[in-house]
């Protein structure tokens, strides 16, 4: 299959956005669970750093201290972190899920997902058209 660095990156971003959707949905599902602490998925800063590299396809990441949060990679190498938000308490029962914030994040994530799906789809549509025109 014909792939480019950009198409692999877009597909990897889709994987991370899918994970973010699951994490946000889990937060929403546990809005009334006593003691539940929300989670979030962070990847944009590391992705910007990776996209800023010209000739390298790898992003060297390593933990330099055992208390650092581990960075995970999706299949094409977009690093992400799942962060447990322990600092705030939203409700008297120890739950810190803000349903309005989570719903806004879910909508924002869905828009980002749709944009990347359009980009990936457009890439493969261009390849299909190119192959069709060569016949």
What is the distance between the alpha carbons of residues 112 and 6, in angstroms, rounded to a whole number?
Answer: 16
Q: Is the pLDDT of residue 63 over 80?
A: no
The pLDDT tens digits of the residues spanning 24-50 come to 999 999 999 998 999 998 877 666 666
Specify the pLDDT at position 70: 61
Q: Report the percentage of the chain scoring pLDDT > 70.
A: 74
Length of the chain: 135
Q: What is the pLDDT of residues 69-81, one digit of tens each?
A: 565 555 446 778 8
Residue 82, SS3 per DSSP: strand
pTM score, two decimals?
0.70
């Amino acid at each position: 299959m014909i792939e480019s660095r950009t198409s692999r990156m877009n597909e990897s971003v889709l994987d991370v956005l899918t994970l973010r959707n699951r994490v946000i949905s889990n937060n929403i599902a546990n809005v009334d669970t006593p003691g539940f602490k929300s989670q979030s998925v962070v990847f944009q800063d590391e992705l910007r750093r990776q996209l800023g590299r010209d000739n390298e396809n790898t992003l060297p990441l390593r933990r330099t201290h055992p208390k650092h949060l581990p960075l995970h990679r999706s299949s094409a190498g977009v690093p992400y972190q799942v962060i447990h938000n322990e600092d705030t308490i939203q409700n008297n029962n120890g739950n810190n899920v803000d349903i309005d914030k989570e719903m806004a994040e879910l909508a924002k994530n869905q828009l980002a997902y749709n944009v990347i799906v359009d980009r990936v789809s457009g890439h493969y549509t261009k390849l299909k058209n190119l192959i069709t025109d060569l016949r």
